[in-house]
């Protein structure tokens, strides 16, 4: 399975290992290389095969199947037609290789293309690209997929080149038509003009442009010429209207004639299997069509959701729990605690940490931080759709990782990958859940289709409870920290982590783990942004039968909290201001320092007069090469902390879409805040307790703080913003609570047992 991936991943990893510690989320871990490395690599392979990067028109000619529903009859495919369709109505549709799950790649990709094409924003549209790793691979991964906040980073140059090439070809076509030199032609806001007064629009020239040669190396604008990139108020999201009138179509909305809706009875404990089942009552329910055993449980096939649900309720399944995980989170916590008092495998060590502690003198600060299992609980519960005739497969769902998903479908159904027409469609959120190291959603979908055989389409639907109790959680984690403060200086720091690996046991284990240790567990803890001479980070990587997964900002969800709450506590012990103290230790971290200063200024950290009962806290975390600092102002209530306002500074290199960056910071803060305050998936005897939003409390509008965001001006390469807004909010809240004279919460969530 996934040979392509393995091959690329391995070679990529060598490149990465010379680099720093960025490798985090699976896709990044697969590639283990920077976007630049990958771009270089793919350019090289393009040269080798002799295919010009953008001259991919052959694709349509050969395999038009993926475009069954597009392009519309009237439109013409201008090369590079794999990324761009120019309609005779002058619309420009960008085929987005990244899944639109709210984080804004439709708008982002279109911005990059439109900038170099000199299109008018009103003519821009976007749609998902079909699954085709050769054309639509993420240059940071080598396969088609979205994650690790890489969408803009890996596409910045590629999509601009698409726009620049198309522009050059349109200009050549107009020059030929008008019989004038191309150099005398200008393009502005979607209008092609010659000094003679001749003018035309893209639609008129699209067909002829398609006959023009593809420019070898299209010239890109100097940033000073940008009209859309980084500009305020010009670019609006392309998907807002459809998402405000009910017309946006998600997987849940697929409603094909004859389609069967499938609910699966899955083991209440992870690792349990079907011992036996009795479907007689189920089959008597009107609307139930069939019941089949599948590898992950028992599938009920029905006409519609309600019949499937009633059918599943009537099902009697006996589970074999002999191999199931039966520990509860209480037991796990005791085991974690014991382990954390013994040395783990060293991830990073500097100076002589034990000797420093042994010297005596100064003040030792110790802290234990405990982080619960968390569900992603995207607003649209998991689901998927597939129809096959025994040979050809059509599949539509919010697939965040189409290449491996397609590979596993091909394997299960015994069809050739080229006979699978998989297209990603809009996802009602994901936060990491729609990409899995095990590709279990695609595996399940194909298994369900196979069990009933070729014919009607099947839509697998997870109820909210299925989704929330279905595992693939943010791992349960414990950090035991020890710090030494002497003469107003932090002189020693240790962090012993106990948690579960995300990569281990997955097909990617061999290429994503170093010395048997998973970077997604310790990222952020092994390289803290502070100068501390004597330092150690060690790890106990434990085996638990609960499936875990990357969850919006992955390891930083807990390492960011542990590091930032602890450094604040040490600075407090040393009697140094939280901002001044951090800055003094950031000699080698100018971008961390930059956002810290920016947020201190934005919030008037030094001079702000606070109302009685209010306090402020600060934190700064880098994740996915994006730097974010946040200040919170809060007070304490009977229902826990009430956050009134958050100030946020972000440095993500060149800011492509400032308003989307702001939106992602706002959303990241709200998402992070809701979870550190309220969210927990406790296990009882191995069974997840929380099943819906009544027991897995989500942030609501009355709990959302006011938010002010500043984007630090930068000429660095753009980096992502989908995840990095999340990590700082938790420790910033903890640090503000300390200022109120309360303890920094040692165990999350801060408001335990928070069911509404």
Partner 1 sequence: MTQLTLKINGQSHSIDADPDMPLLWAIRESVGLTGTKYGCGVAQCGACTVFVGGLPVRSCSMPVSAVGADEITTIEGLKSKEALAVQKAWVKLDVPQCGYCQSGQIMSATSLLEINAKPTDRDIDLAMNGNICRCATYVRIRAAIHDAAKSLEG
- Span 96-135, contacts to ligand FES by CB under 6 A: 102
Q: What are phi and psi of 731, to 5 degrees?
A: -65, -30
CB of 464 to partner 1, least distance (A): 5
670 binds partner 1 (CB under 8 A): yes
CB of 463 to ligand FES, least distance (A): 10
432 binds ligand FES (CB under 6 A): no
706 binds partner 1 (CB under 8 A): yes
Q: Give dist(CA 44, CA 652) in Å, integer.
A: 27
674 binds partner 1 (CB under 8 A): yes
CB of 691 to partner 1, least distance (A): 9
Residue with the closest Cβ to ligand FES?
Answer: 379
Tokens 């794999």 correspond to what residue? 82
658: which residues sit within 8 A by CB, 6+ positions away? 230, 231, 232, 711
CB of 251 to ligand FES, least distance (A): 14
* Count of residues near partner 1 by CB under 8 A: 64
564 contacts 578 by C-beta, under 8 angstroms: no
**How does 19-46 read in b/e, with b if 16+ C-beta sit within 10 Å?**
eeebbbbbbbbbbbbbbebbbebbeeee
Out of 666, 735, 749, 750, name the contact with partner 1 by CB under 8 A: 666
CB count, 10 Å around CB of 113? 31
User: Encoding tokens for residue 302?
Assistant: 């029905």
CB of 377 to ligand FES, least distance (A): 10
Taking the least distance from each CB to partner 1, the nearer of 296 and 669 is 669
Taking the least distance from each CB to partner 1, the nearer of 534 and 623 is 623
Out of 191, 584, 689, 704, name the contact with partner 1 by CB under 8 A: 704
User: Encoding tokens for residue 133?
Assistant: 């790793």
CB of 556 to partner 1, least distance (A): 18
Taking the least distance from each CB to partner 1, the nearer of 289 and 339 is 289
Taking the least distance from each CB to ligand FES, the nearer of 429 and 653 is 429
Query: Which positions from 479 to 518 touch partner 1 by CB under 8 A, shown as an x/- string?
Result: ----------------------------------------
Three-class secondary structure assignment of 78-130:
CCCCCCEEECCCCCEEEEECCCCCCCCHHHHHHHHHHHHHCCCHHHEEEEECE
CB of 379 to ligand FES, least distance (A): 4
239 binds partner 1 (CB under 8 A): yes
429 binds ligand FES (CB under 6 A): yes
| Region binding partner 1 by CB under 8 A among candidate stretches 12-20, 416-424, 486-494, 689-697 | 689-697
724 binds partner 1 (CB under 8 A): no
Q: Give dist(CA 474, CA 672) in Å, integer.
A: 13
173 makes contact, choosing from ligand FES, partner 1, none, with CB < 5 to 8 Å by partner type, with none
Structure letter (DSSP) for residue 701: G
Partners of 651 in the beta sheet?
Answer: 627
Out of 284, 355, 379, 510, name the contact with ligand FES by CB under 6 A: 379
Q: Give dist(CA 618, CA 614) in Å, integer.
A: 14
CB count, 10 Å around CB of 132? 20
Q: Give dist(CA 553, CA 722) in Å, integer.
A: 8
- Of 687, 214, 314, 277, nearest in space to 470 by CA: 687
Taking the least distance from each CB to ligand FES, the nearer of 102 and 731 is 102
126 binds partner 1 (CB under 8 A): no
653 binds ligand FES (CB under 6 A): no
389 binds partner 1 (CB under 8 A): no
Strand pairing report for 534-542 and 489-500:
parallel
Q: What are phi and psi of 359, to 5 degrees?
A: -55, -30
Could you tell me where the DSSP H helices lie in 575-693?
Answer: 578-584, 590-602, 658-678
| Region binding partner 1 by CB under 8 A among candidate stretches 49-57, 211-219, 275-283, 378-386 | 378-386
Q: Give dist(CA 40, CA 30) in Å, integer.
A: 17
307 contacts 285 by C-beta, under 8 angstroms: yes
284 binds ligand FES (CB under 6 A): no
- Tally of CA atoms within 13 A in the half-sphere of 452 that contains its CB: 27
User: What is the CA 661 to chain-centroid distance, rounded?
Assistant: 14
299: which residues sit within 8 A by CB, 6+ positions away? 262, 263, 264, 265, 291, 292, 293, 448, 451, 452
104 binds partner 1 (CB under 8 A): yes
398 binds ligand FES (CB under 6 A): no
Out of 249, 338, 510, 742, name the contact with partner 1 by CB under 8 A: 249
291 contacts 282 by C-beta, under 8 angstroms: yes
CB of 200 to partner 1, least distance (A): 30
CB of 473 to partner 1, least distance (A): 15
645 makes contact, choosing from partner 1, ligand FES, none, with CB < 5 to 8 Å by partner type, with none
- Of 136, 146, 132, nearest in space to 103 by CA: 146
- Of 107, 130, 129, 112, nearest in space to 240 by CA: 107
CB of 428 to ligand FES, least distance (A): 6
Strands (E) located in 420-527 = 420-424, 458-461, 477-486, 489-500, 513-514, 517-518
Taking the least distance from each CB to ligand FES, the nearer of 102 and 471 is 102
Out of 50, 181, 197, 246, name the contact with partner 1 by CB under 8 A: 246
- Of 97, 101, 30, nearest in space to 59 by CA: 97
427 makes contact, choosing from ligand FES, partner 1, none, with CB < 5 to 8 Å by partner type, with partner 1
* Count of residues near ligand FES by CB under 6 A: 3
- Span 304-363, contacts to partner 1 by CB under 8 A: 304-307, 310
- Of 194, 105, 205, 192, nearest in space to 155 by CA: 105
718 contacts 156 by C-beta, under 8 angstroms: yes
CB of 17 to ligand FES, least distance (A): 37
Out of 6, 208, 392, 464, name the contact with partner 1 by CB under 8 A: 464
Taking the least distance from each CB to partner 1, the nearer of 259 and 573 is 259
- Span 16-75, contacts to partner 1 by CB under 8 A: none
Taking the least distance from each CB to partner 1, the nearer of 240 and 276 is 240
257 binds partner 1 (CB under 8 A): no
531 binds partner 1 (CB under 8 A): no
Out of 25, 37, 118, 380, name the contact with partner 1 by CB under 8 A: 380
201 makes contact, choosing from partner 1, ligand FES, none, with CB < 5 to 8 Å by partner type, with none
Q: What angle do CA 691, 395, 384 make, to 5 degrees?
A: 5
242 binds ligand FES (CB under 6 A): no
324 makes contact, choosing from partner 1, ligand FES, none, with CB < 5 to 8 Å by partner type, with none
Out of 288, 353, 367, 426, name the contact with partner 1 by CB under 8 A: 426
CB count, 10 Å around CB of 276? 10
Please report the DSSP string for 145-170 in residue order: ---TT-HHHHHHHHHHHHHHHHHHHH
Taking the least distance from each CB to partner 1, the nearer of 201 and 236 is 236
248 makes contact, choosing from ligand FES, partner 1, none, with CB < 5 to 8 Å by partner type, with partner 1
Helix H or strand E encompassing 649: strand 640-651
Q: Give dist(CA 685, CA 683) in Å, integer.
A: 6
Binding residues vs ligand FES (CB under 6 A): 102, 379, 429
Binding residues vs partner 1 (CB under 8 A): 101-104, 236-237, 239-250, 252-253, 255, 286-287, 304-307, 310, 377-381, 426-431, 463-464, 659-660, 663, 666-671, 673-674, 692-694, 698-702, 704, 706-707, 756
């Amino acid at each position: 399975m996934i040979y392509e991936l393995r091959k690329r991943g391995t070679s990529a990893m060598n490149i990465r290992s010379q680099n720093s510690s960025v490798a985090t989320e699976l896709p990044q871990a697969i590639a283990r290389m920077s976007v630049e490395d990958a771009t270089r690599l793919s350019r090289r392979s393009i040269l080798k095969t002799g295919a010009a990067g953008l001259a991919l028109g052959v694709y349509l000619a050969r395999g038009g199947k993926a475009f069954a529903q597009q392009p519309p009859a009237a439109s013409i495919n201008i090369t590079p037609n794999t990324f761009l369709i120019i309609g005779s109505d002058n619309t420009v549709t960008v085929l987005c290789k990244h899944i639109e799950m709210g984080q804004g790649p439709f708008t982002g990709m279109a911005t990059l293309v439109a900038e170099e094409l000199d299109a008018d924003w009103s003519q821009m549209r976007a749609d998902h690209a079909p699954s085709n790793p050769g054309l639509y691979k993420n240059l940071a991964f080598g396969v088609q997929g979205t994650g690790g906040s890489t969408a803009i980073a890996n596409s910045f140059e590629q999509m601009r080149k698409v726009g620049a090439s198309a522009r050059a070809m349109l200009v050549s076509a107009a020059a030929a038509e008008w019989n004038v030199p191309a150099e005398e032609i200008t393009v502005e806001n979607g209008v092609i003009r010659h000094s003679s007064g001749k003018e035309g629009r893209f639609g008129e020239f699209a067909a002829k442009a398609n006959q023009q040669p593809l420019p070898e190396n299209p010239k890109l604008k100097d940033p000073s010429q940008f009209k859309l990139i980084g500009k305020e108020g010009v670019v609006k999201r392309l998907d807002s209207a459809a998402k405000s009138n009910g017309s946006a179509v998600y997987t849940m909305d697929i409603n094909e004639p004859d389609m069967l809706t499938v609910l699966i009875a899955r083991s209440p404990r992870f690792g349990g299997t079907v011992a036996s089942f009795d479907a007689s009552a189920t089959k008597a329910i009107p609307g139930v069509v069939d019941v089949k055993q599948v590898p992950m449980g028992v599938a009920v096939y029905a006409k519609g959701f309600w019949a499937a649900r009633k059918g599943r309720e009537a099902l009697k399944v006996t589970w074999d729990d002999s191999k199931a995980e039966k520990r509860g989170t209480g037991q796990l916590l005791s085991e974690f605690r014991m382990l954390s008092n013994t040395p783990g495998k060293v991830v990073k060590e500097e100076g002589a940490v034990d000797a420093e502690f042994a010297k005596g003198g100064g003040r030792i600060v110790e802290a234990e931080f405990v982080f619960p299992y968390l569900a992603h609980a995207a607003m649209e519960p998991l689901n998927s759709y597939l129809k096959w005739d025994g040979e050809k497969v059509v599949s539509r769902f919010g697939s965040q990782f189409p290449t491996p998903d397609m590979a596993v479908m091909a394997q299960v159904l015994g069809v050739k990958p080229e006979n699978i027409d998989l297209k990603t469609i809009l996802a009602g959120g994901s936060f990491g859940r729609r990409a899995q190291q095990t590709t279990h959603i695609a595996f399940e979908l194909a298994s369900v289709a196979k069990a009933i055989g070729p014919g009607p389409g099947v839509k697998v639907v997870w109820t909210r409870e299925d989704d929330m109790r279905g595992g693939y959680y943010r791992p349960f984690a414990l950090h035991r920290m020890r710090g030494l403060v002497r003469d107003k200086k932090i002189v020693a720091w240790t962090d012993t982590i106990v948690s579960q690996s995300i990569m281990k046991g997955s097909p990617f284990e061999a290429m994503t783990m170093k010395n048997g240790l998973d970077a997604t567990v310790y990222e952020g803890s092994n390289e803290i942004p502070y100068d501390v001479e004597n330092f150690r980070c060690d790890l106990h990587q434990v085996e638990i039968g609960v499936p875990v997964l990357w969850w919006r900002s992955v390891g930083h969800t807990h390492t960011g909290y542990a590091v930032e709450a602890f450094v604040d506590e040490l600075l407090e012990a040393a009697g140094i201001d939280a901002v001044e103290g951090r800055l003094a230790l950031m000699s080698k971290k100018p971008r961390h320092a930059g956002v810290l200063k920016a947020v201190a200024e934005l919030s008037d950290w030094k001079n702000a007069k606070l109302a009685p009962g209010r306090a402020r806290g600060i934190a700064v975390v880098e994740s996915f090469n994006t730097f974010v600092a946040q200040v919170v102002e809060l007070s304490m209530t009977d229902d826990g902390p009430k956050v009134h306002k958050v100030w946020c500074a972000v440095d993500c290199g060149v800011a492509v879409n400032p308003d989307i960056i702001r939106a992602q910071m706002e959303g990241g803060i709200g998402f992070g805040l809701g979870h550190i305050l309220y969210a927990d998936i406790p296990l009882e005897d191995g069974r997840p307790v929380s099943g819906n939003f009544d027991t897995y409390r989500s942030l609501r509008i009355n709990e959302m703080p006011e938010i002010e965001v500043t984007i630090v001006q930068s000429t660095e390469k753009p980096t992502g913003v989908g995840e990095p807004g999340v990590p700082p909010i938790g420790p910033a809240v903890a640090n503000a609570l300390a200022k109120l004279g309360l303890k920094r919460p040692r165990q999350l969530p801060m408001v335990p047992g928070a069911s509404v």
